[in-house]
Structure 1
Amino acid sequence: MEVFGLDIGGSGIKGAPVDTATGELLSERIRIKTPQPSTPEAIVRTSVEVIRKAGWSGPVGCGFPAVVKDGILRTAANVDESNIGFDLKSALGEALGEEVHLVNDADAAGMAEIKWGAAREEYGTVLMVTLGTGLGTALFTGGHLVANTELGHIEIRGEDAEHRASDTARKRENLRWRAYGQRLDEYLNRIDALLWPDLIVLGGGISKKSDKFMDRLSVRARVVIAEMHNEAGIAGAALASVSEAERTGELA
C-alpha cells in the first residue's frame, strides 16, 4: 500500500510517498521550513503545500511533535502554543479532501525502526530517542508501542532534559562534541535507571554525526544509531496510518 508520510517538526515540514510494505520512499522528499509563528493555520497551509508539491492524492499519515489523542494536539513543546487543543487530523483532512491519520512524531520514527531499522530483531524493551529540535522518545515492549511518552521532558539539573541535550541546545550553547556527548550520556543514564531498556536507538538528523559523540556514552543499555535516519519519521507516519486503519477496520 502507498501512503504519503508527512513529518511535521519544529524546524521543517517534510514528506514523500511511502511503500508501507518496505518503508521505501517512492520519490525525493519535499521539505519546507516550518512557518514562524507555527500557528495551526500556518502549519496546515504549509503541510498542504508539501503534499501538493509532491503531486500526491490519497491517504496521508502525519507525525507531529506533540501528544496526540484522537487526532487532537494536547501539547506543543517546539511549536506555537496555540496548537494545544487543535484538531489537526480533521483540519488537515478537510484541507486535503483525503483521509489523514495523526501520530506523535517520535512514535512514528520508532515504529519505522522497529519495523525496518535498527530495532527490527529486538523483542525486549526498546527506547527510541530522536535528537533534534527537542528530545523525542518512543517506547516499545515486545514490539508494542506505549504511545505518547514525553521522556525528553524529565528534569535534569533543574532543567527540562531537552533544553540540555537536544541538537538545538548543542547549537544554542555552541557545545563541543565532547561536552554534548557528556550531556547526552547523563540523560541516557537517567532514562536507563528508570526504564532498564534492552536497546536504545538514537535517531534524528544529528545521528548522522554519531561518530562525534558515541565514544562519550557510558550507559548500561546497548545503544545503536537509527538506520533510517531522517526518513524514519516519514516512513513511520505512513506505517502508523496503515496500522490505525487496520485497527479501526477501515481497510476491511
Structure 2
Amino acid sequence: MPREASPRPSPRKKTPRETAASGLRTLAIDIGGSGLKALVLGPDGSPLTERQRVVTPKPATPKAVMGALTKLIKPLGAFDRVSVGFPGVVEEGVTKTAPNLHTDWQGFDLAQALSKATGRPTRVLNDAGVQGFGVIEGRGVEMVLTLGTGMGCALYVDGKYVPNLELAHHPFRHGKTYEEYVGDAALKRVGAKKWNKHVQRVLEQIQPIWNPRRIYLGGGNAKLIDFPLPKNVTVTENIAGLLGGFALWKDEPRPQ
C-alpha cells in the first residue's frame, strides 16, 4: 500500500451536504506520552462513539504502542480511514522524532503500519497540528501550544499548517528548553503555582516574536492554568486532539 503523504488544507471546503454524501467514518487516534486515545468521527466530523483511552505502554516502543492501539480501537466499530496525531516530527507518515516515547520511533513508517493493521488508508500528523485543526478559525497567524507530557506547538497561516515546528526544544530560560520549563516533569518538580508562572512567561515570550492573532492552549495540563490570560489566548478542550483528525482528509477524494 502506498504511503499517505502529509495532509494539505483543501483549497475549497466541502459543504455539509457534500461531506455527508461521502458517508465516510474516520477513526481518529491521539498518541500521547501518557495516554492513547481514539474515537470514530462521522461524515460531518462529529463524534459517533465515546472516546476510548488506555495508558501509553512503557517502554513506548512502536511494537508496544501498535499492540495497545489494536486493543484500543477494537470496540469502536467500523471506519473507512484513519487519522493519527503523533507527538513528534512526522514526514509523509514516517515518524522522525518522539522525545517522550522511545528512540525506536526514529524512521518508523506509522502510516504504513496502521494501514496494514487496519486495512484502511492512514494519515499521520504532529499531534499539536491535528489539535489545531480542531479549533483554529483559519484567519491570519494562529498558534497552538499543548501542555502535557511535553510541550507541543503548531503554527497556521490563514488555515494552512506550517509542519513540524518544534518550539519545545528551543532554548528558553536558565539553560532549559521550553519543554523542560513547562512540561509535565517541570510541573511535578516546581508545583502548580510556579508552573503557572512558567507558562505565563512562555506566552509573554511568544507574543512579540510570532505575533499570533490567536493562541490556543491544549493538552492535559492546560486545565491547571489559573492566571488571567491575554485576550487572544484561549484554553481548548482536550478532545480537539481527536476532532481535528477529520481535517486531515478534507482534500478527498484522493487515489489510494
Normalised by the length of structure 2, the TM-score is: 0.84
What is the rounded CA distance, in whole Å, between the counterparts of 1:165 and 1:20 in structure 2? 37
**How do residues 103-252 of structure 1 correspond to structure 2 at under 5 angstroms?**
103-114=125-136, 120=137, 123-157=139-173, 158-171=175-188, 173-177=189-193, 179-210=194-225, 212=226, 214-215=227-228, 222-226=232-236, 229-240=237-248, 242-243=249-250, 245-246=252-253, 249-250=254-255
What is the rounded CA distance, in whole Å, between the counterparts of 1:159 and 1:250 in structure 2? 45
1:185-225 CA distance string (max 9 Å, x none): 21122222321111111111223333x2x32x5x6x72111
Tell me the number of residue pairs that the alignment of Structure 1 and Structure 2 aligns.
232
What is the rounded CA distance, in whole Å, between the counterparts of 2:30 and 2:207 in structure 1? 28
Over 3 Å counting, the alpha-carbon distance change for 1:37 and 1:245 in structure 2 is: farther
Structure 1 residue 77 displacement after superposition: 1.4
* SS of structure 2 residue aligned to 1:230: coil
Code of the residue aligned with 1:107 in structure 2: it is G
1:139-191 CA distance string (max 9 Å, x none): 011121111111122211211211111244212x14132x1121012112222
Over 3 Å counting, the alpha-carbon distance change for 1:11 and 1:56 in structure 2 is: farther
List gaps (5 residues or longer) in structure 1: 115-119
Matched residue, 2:38: 15
Matched residue, 2:57: 35
Code of the residue aligned with 1:197 in structure 2: it is P
Structure 1 residue 113 displacement after superposition: 0.5
Structure 1 residue 69 displacement after superposition: 0.3
Code of the residue aligned with 1:194 in structure 2: it is I
Matched residue, 1:68: 90
List gaps (5 residues or longer) in structure 2: 1-23
Runs of 4+ in 1 over 4 A off after TM superposition: none
Could you say which structure has the higher helix fraction? 1
1:110-160 CA distance string (max 9 Å, x none): 01102xxxxx2x611111111111110110111211111111222112112
What is the rounded CA distance, in whole Å, between the counterparts of 2:185 and 2:242 in structure 1? 21
What is the rounded CA distance, in whole Å, between the counterparts of 1:56 and 1:71 in structure 2? 22
What is the rounded CA distance, in whole Å, between the counterparts of 1:224 and 1:32 in structure 2? 27
Code of the residue aligned with 1:243 in structure 2: it is K
Normalised by the length of structure 1, the TM-score is: 0.86
What is the rounded CA distance, in whole Å, between the counterparts of 1:176 and 1:40 in structure 2? 32
Matched residue, 1:94: 116
Matched residue, 1:82: 104
What is the rounded CA distance, in whole Å, between the counterparts of 1:106 and 1:147 in structure 2? 10
What is the rounded CA distance, in whole Å, between the counterparts of 1:244 and 1:76 in structure 2? 27
Over 3 Å counting, the alpha-carbon distance change for 1:57 and 1:141 in structure 2 is: closer
